[in-house]
Amino acid sequence: MVLLDTFLHQHQGLVLLIFGIVLIGAMILDLGVLNKSDHVVSFKSALYQSLFWITLSMGFFVLLYTSYDQEESVNYLTAYVTEYALSVDNIFVIILILRYFRVDEKYYHKILFWGILGAIIMRAIFIFVGEYLIHQFEWILYVFGLFLLFTGFKLLFQGDGDDEDFNPENQPVIKFARRYLNFTNQELGGKFFVRKMGKLFFTRLFLVVLLIESTDLIFAVDSIPAAFGITKDPFVLYTSNIFAVLGLRAMFFMLSGILDKFHLLSRGLSFVLIFIGAKMMLEITHTDFFRSTIGFELPKVPAPLSLSIVVSILALSIVFSLIWPKKEEEGQPLPEGPAPDKA
């Protein structure tokens, strides 16, 4: 264990590179071999996949706790739970997108695969750019902390139906794509593009993936600062985020039909962001930049206490959602685009 501890500390970059290669290889095996044909993912299959990713994530937590750093392993768990919970809002938006474009359920797996692969790459870039900026400019932690407080309060006071007003056609990425790319309205067996008469035509599935990637980019703007509010260790940051993202696809198939029952979860997430933002502002007093200008330090929030607070807030928001279910309201159904033509 001592040798493993030394290796993990001294070769973080190499370990992360191996970690990324193995994950991408596993995902390619998933789509190219294990799930080569398009099919509808059952609840039972999604449950098994969720248990697999959760077990793998907890196994990695045990590895960190026994062979890396006990405090950082608790931070890993806190960041993992926070990112996992924040993914619920992402799932709701994905559902709206898929319903709007009337995507056949048998293509959900393929679309989410490419969406998650893009999320892994984008979050790696965000994390390492953020780590570099913090290393070069400590004062940027003020920006992250204030941003989390602003986002938390904004989420707290926004209406419950705000996400339901989401219209894919109003998104800049969709307007840009429709303006500069050629699209076909035909169903082409799950293809993303096809060449006709020397021209490249893109399908609705490509448009859906493009929109999902853009929305994940927006969600990453919230989740990555939140992760930095929990830990500054890039190794812990990346692994916790990626394990949570990898579990997103299975969680989507499990929760897509019952997501509306957890209507208070967004309120819980707002309190989590406010707490992490406040925690980050406290920890800023321990930076060289703050000590040299102000001259005092405020107490840090211990990692186990942070984990307990985050888990308690999320658990209570789920329990309260079940105790006080959302009242059924008659409203306009979600707008849908025109039905695709058959090939």
Name the E strands within 130-254.
186-187, 193-196, 199-202
Per residue in 98-116, pLDDT (tens digit) is 888 888 888 888 888 888 8
Question: Does residue 35 lie within any of the structural domains?
Answer: no
- Which tokens hold the place of 247? 């579990």
Q: What pLDDT, on a 0 to 100 scale, did the predictor assign at position 330?
A: 45
Question: Does residue 260 lie within any of the structural domains?
Answer: yes
Question: Does residue 307 lie within any of the structural domains?
Answer: yes
SS3 (DSSP) at 181: coil
Question: Does residue 284 lie within any of the structural domains?
Answer: yes
Q: pLDDT: is 75 or 339 the higher one?
A: 75
Question: Does residue 103 lie within any of the structural domains?
Answer: yes
Per residue in 41-59, pLDDT (tens digit) is 777 878 888 888 888 889 8
Rg (CA), the chain: 21
The residue-averaged pLDDT of 59-77 equals: 87
Question: Does residue 223 lie within any of the structural domains?
Answer: yes
Q: What pLDDT, on a 0 to 100 scale, did the predictor assign at position 331?
A: 44
| pLDDT higher than threshold 80 for residue 261 | no
Per residue in 208-259, pLDDT (tens digit) is 989 888 888 877 877 888 888 888 888 888 888 888 888 887 788 777 766 6
Question: Does residue 67 lie within any of the structural domains?
Answer: yes
| Domain with 233 in it | 48-169+211-324
Question: CB–CB of 60/4 below 8 Å?
Answer: no
Question: Does residue 175 lie within any of the structural domains?
Answer: no
Number of domains in the chain: 1
Question: CB–CB of 117/242 below 8 Å?
Answer: no
